Amino acid sequence: MLNIVKVAEPEDIKKFKKKHKPQNWDDFTPEIKSGIKKNILENEQTVNGTQLCVYCERKISTENSHVEHVRPKALHKFPNLFDKYENMVVSCDLKNTCGNYKGSEYDEKFIHPIENDPADFMTYNFATGKIVNKNDSLKERVDYTCEILNLNGCRELIEARKTILIQLNSSVDEGAGFIDYVEEFYSLTEAYKSEVLNI
Ligand SMILES: [Zn+2]
């Protein structure tokens, strides 16, 4: 999961809210939603030149992603946060992980990508490609977060991380610089650098 540093809310979105006083997320026009997404992707979720899903860190674009309310905007959760820019990130559109999988599930155990630095909580098992807690006291929060996003249960995701790990391992053996070319899975690459390569 990425750690998101929010930038200021764009003026056109502020103006839209002031003028139209939206009452729920459906009152935002497709153009405004798309502007929000583009702004977040470009300014908050571009890592080494590549736009990544906040949760799974796969490569995304405005075409295959959606605005994700970290604290769900569902009526029984946090309906007042539907228009709060500080609560918005961008998730991939895959059905079996991330924002779509999470739906309106949430409690305060969730590792919040804006309020927490996920790297303080999570690292990886470099053999299995699965996310693991950094220490036992964090297990409950890491397990809950991975469970509601399905970050350890999605086979394609695990296989994709393992493919990167195989390439990283062979790159190290051969002295090649593959690590500089990894586009997806930023936190995996960073954990590998610090824990395996000690750099
Ligand atoms: Zn994702």
pLDDT in tens, 103-134: 999 999 999 999 999 999 999 999 999 999 99
In a domain, 4, yes or no: no
Give the chain's mean pLDDT.
95
User: Which tokens belong to 134?
Assistant: 């950094």
Residue 177: its pLDDT value, please? 75
Distance 149 CA to ligand 1 centre (A): 8
What is the mean pLDDT of the segment spanning 32-46?
A: 97
Residue 19 located in a structural domain: yes
> Does a structural domain hold residue 3?
no
Find the 186 Cα to ligand 1 centroid distance in Å.
Answer: 13
Q: Report the alpha-carbon distance of residue 110 to residue 190 in Å, rounded.
A: 22
- Residue pair 177/147 in contact (Cβ under 8 Å)? The answer is no
Q: How far apart are CA 50 and CA 57, in angstroms?
A: 10
Domain coverage including residue 21: 11-195
Interval between CA 42 and ligand 1 midpoint (Å):
16
**Res 181: pLDDT:** 83
Name which of 27, 6, 1, 10 is nearest 86 in CA terms. 6
Query: Running DSSP on this structure, what letter comes out for residue 91?
Result: E
pLDDT interval class at 170 (50, 70, 90)? confident
1 domain residue, yes or no: no
Percent of the chain with pLDDT over 90: 91
What DSSP character marks residue 121?
T
Q: What is the model's pLDDT at position 138?
A: 98
Q: How far is the CA of 90 from the centre of ligand 1 (A)?
A: 9
Predicted confidence at residue 73, as pLDDT, reads 96
Task: State the pLDDT confidence band at 74, using cuts at 50, 70 and 90.
Answer: very high
Say if residue 176's pLDDT is above 90.
no
The answer to whether residue 155 sits within a structural domain is yes
**What value does the mean pLDDT take over residues 68-87?**
96
How many angstroms separate the alpha carbon of residue 32 from the centre of ligand 1?
Answer: 22
Distance (Å) from CA 101 to ligand 1 centroid: 10
Contact 165, 192 (CB under 8 A): yes
Q: What percent of the chain has pLDDT over 70?
A: 99
Taking the centre of ligand 1 as the mean of its atom positions, its distance from the CA of residue 187, in whole angstroms, is 13
Q: Say if residue 35's pLDDT is above 90.
A: yes
Q: Is 87 contained in some domain?
A: yes
SS3 state of residue 141: helix
Number of folded domains that form the chain: 1
Average pLDDT value for residue range 47-59: 97
Nearest to 90 by CA among 182, 181, 14, 1: 1
The pLDDT confidence band at residue 57, using thresholds 50, 70 and 90, is very high
Please determine, for residue 172, whether its predicted confidence score (pLDDT) is greater than 80: no
